Amino acid sequence: MTMLLADWLARLERLHPQAIEMGLDRVRAVAQRLDLAMHCPTVIVAGTNGKGSTCAMLASVLRAAGYRAGLYTSPHLLDFNERARIDGVPARDVDLVAQFEAVEAARGGTSLTYFEFTTLAVLRLFAQAGLDAAVLEVGLGGRLDAVNLVDADVAIVTSVDIDHVDYLGATRDAIGWEKAHVYRAGQPAICCDPQPPASLLDHAAAIGADLWRFGPDFSYEGSAEQRGQQWAYVGRNLRRSGLPYPALRGTNQLLNAAGALAALEALGERLPVSQQAVRHGLLTVELPARFQVLPGRPTVILDVAHNPHAAAVLAANLDSMGYFPTTHAVFGMLRDKDIAGVIHRVVPHIDHWHVGATHGPRGAAAEDVAQLLRAATEGSIRQPSISTYESVADACRAALEHATPDDRILAFGSFLTVADVMRALRESTARCAQPGAQSELRG
């Protein structure tokens, strides 16, 4: 009997003894048995932060130009199908199940992690879909990530900062070296980091990659403070003026957009893209939970920032917003992350912390996070309140209860945190939509 997608996903979580095991030998062996090959121009995107936004903008512009584009990202927020999109539409359960069955038949006795197994399935789905282009987001690092099986026509490294130190190293040089391995000899290698570590530059030079550096080779003219006006992309041999600001909010989105347009410039002979397609793609791009401001009152902001670098960008984005009398944070993180480093970047902006426990093998107890918050605010003039809850959903409900219509609520800390908040908000909206709910609220 054919298994349902949910059954497959539950099985894959138990298939390998470790959630993460770096290395390409096992996954490459299964890919060879599948005779897996991409038949279209492919862009791989690695980096500490900014990968998702860059991938989303690339795919959006390619779709606007009339190309059939595949987009692979991870992790997902609510549904696994979000990870594999063709022409902007999430893959169907039946199509994913068919690819899972193919990978299972090919792997034999080879054990694969959840990410390795599902990556092979999505790559095979894309290989059979008649795509004009594929955009693939690296899961972790670059050198030993399953996505790096693909020899990309263009590779992008968005940023290099400290994260995943247990797997990538504790310095920018070590991490940059790992990420630089998505580059290929003789192929365009886009680096969006304004100050890349020497290890990245050295590796690109050693393999003979065609390195495009932000600043010398491509850049942008404009600033986040000029939203509502226009900006310009300046490339090696191409200038695009009069561009609209991306629909994605945030002070770093012009940098991400410039990296995406540099990749498209590098692919210009194979995938020509008109100015109108660039404009439309930037205006219509969508990516949940990257400084996503939800409509309604109080203002609710969703952001998956889960490392100090991303938290610093989040803090700058909060500064750029208008005045709010009070800011509530719905917060939860994984215990293998730099929780104290994230708190340090954002704590000056928060009046009330609603801390929820994150569950699973990597989950952090709410009280452990609260202790780090107390340490970060000890002796400061501004003393925020700190409350703990058994779940992120409970923390979200408490924030909604205590916030006034003029306040703002920031939900951040991890993909799991934001996903739990999205579910809680959906349930709250559904309850309010039930017959009699409004009269009960008024009563």
What is the per-residue pLDDT across 307-343, written as a single tens digit (0 to 9) for each?
999 999 999 999 999 899 999 999 999 999 999 999 9
The predicted pLDDT at position 20 comes to: 84
**CATH at residue 52:** 3.40.1190.10
β-pair type (299-303, 292-294): antiparallel
Using pLDDT thresholds of 50, 70 and 90, give the confidence band for residue 369.
very high
Whether residue 437 is predicted with pLDDT greater than 80 in this model: the reply is: no
Count of structural domains, the chain? 2
Residue 42 buriedness (CB in 10 A; 0-12 / 13-18 / 19+): buried
Judge if 237 and 300 occupy the same domain: no
Q: Which has the closest alpha carbon to 5: 105, 89, 82? A: 82
Considering just the CA atoms, what is the radius of gyration of the chain in Å? 22
326 in the same domain as 367: yes
Encode pLDDT of 25-45 as tens digits: 999 999 999 999 999 999 999
User: In this predicted structure, what is the pLDDT of residue 17?
Assistant: 81
φ, ψ of residue 134 in degrees (nearest 5): -135, 135
156 contacts 45 by C-beta, under 8 angstroms: yes
Q: Name the E strands within 308-412.
A: 327-331, 352-356, 385-389, 408-412
The pLDDT value given to residue 405: 97
**Angle 5-15/93-107 helices, nearest 10 degrees?**
40
Calpha distance 175→142 (Å, rounded)? 9
Sheet containing strand 219-221, edge to edge, reads 219-221, 230-234, 239-244
Report residue 20 CA to chain centroid gap: 18
Tell me, what's the pLDDT at 3? 87
What is the per-residue pLDDT for 439? 41
State residue 438's pLDDT score: 47
Number of H helices, E strands in the chain: 16, 17
Q: Where are the beta strands (DSSP E) in 237-326?
A: 239-244, 292-294, 299-303
H helix or E strand, kind and range, residue 189 = strand 188-191
pLDDT score of 441 more than 50: no
Are residue 140 and residue 262 in the same domain, yes or no? Answer: yes
**227 falls in which pLDDT band (50, 70, 90)?**
low
What is the domain-level CATH number for residue 359? 3.90.190.20
Instruction: Check whether 443 has a pLDDT greater than 50.
Output: no
Q: Which domain holds residue 410?
A: 292-442
Q: Are 259 and 135 in contact (CB under 8 A)?
A: no
The rounded Cα 371 to chain-centroid distance in angstroms is: 28
Do 86 and 234 lie in a common domain?
yes
- Measure the CA angle with vertex 264, ends 259 and 265; round to 5°: 95
Q: What is the pLDDT of residue 252?
A: 92
Claim to verify: residue 296 and residue 279 sit in the same structural domain:
no
**H or E element at residue 177:** helix 172-180
Given a cut of 50, is residue 180 above it in pLDDT?
yes
Instruction: Let me know whether 70 and 36 are in one domain.
Output: yes
In order of 159, 161, 166, 228, 229, the CA distances from 201 in angstroms are: 13, 15, 23, 36, 34
Output the pLDDT for position 279: 98
Nearest to 172 by CA among 307, 315, 295, 269: 307
Which pLDDT does position 224 carry in this prediction? 66
Share of the chain above pLDDT 70, in %: 95
Q: What's the mean per-residue pLDDT of the chain? A: 94
Cα–Cα nearest to 117, from 10, 3, 235: 10
The helix or strand, by DSSP H or E, that contains position 46, with its residue range, turns out to be strand 42-46
What token pair was written down for 424?
């809680």
What pLDDT is recorded for position 436?
Answer: 59
- Same domain membership, residue 250 and residue 305: no
Q: What percent of the chain has pLDDT over 90?
A: 88
At residue 432, the pLDDT reads 66
Mean pLDDT on 114-127 = 98
Residues 277 and 360 in one domain: no
pLDDT at 433: 61
CA distance 106 to 386: 51
88 and 42 belong to one structural domain: yes
pLDDT tens digits, 244-292: 999 999 889 999 999 999 999 999 999 999 999 999 999 999 999 999 9
Q: Which DSSP state fits 240?
A: E
Q: Give the single-character DSSP code of 221.
A: E
Whether 237 and 318 map to the same domain: the answer is: no
- For residue 19, the tally of other CB atoms under 10 A from its CB is 12
Among 284, 318, 338, identify where a domain stops. 284
State the Cα–Cα distance between residues 82 and 87, nearest whole angstrom. Answer: 12
End-to-end CA distance of the chain: 52
Q: Are the C-beta atoms of residues 191 and 214 closer than 8 Å to each other? A: yes
Residue matched to tokens 């936004």: 53
Alpha helices in 358-414 (DSSP H): 366-377, 392-402
Q: Residue 435 — very low, low, confident or very high, per pLDDT cuts 50/70/90?
A: low
Q: Which residues pair with 66 in a beta bridge?
A: none
Is the same domain home to 273 and 299?
Answer: no
Domain limit, last residue, from 250, 284, 318 = 284
Per DSSP bridges, beta strands 408-412 and 210-213 are unpaired
Cβ atoms of 68 and 87 within 8 Å: the answer is yes
Q: At what angle do helices 114-127 and 93-107 cross, to 10 degrees?
A: 110
Distance CA 241, CA 248 (A): 19
Question: Under DSSP, is residue 291 helix (H, G, I), strand (E, B) or coil?
Answer: coil
Q: Are 311 and 176 in the same domain? A: no
> Of 221, 249, 284, at which residue does a domain stop?
284
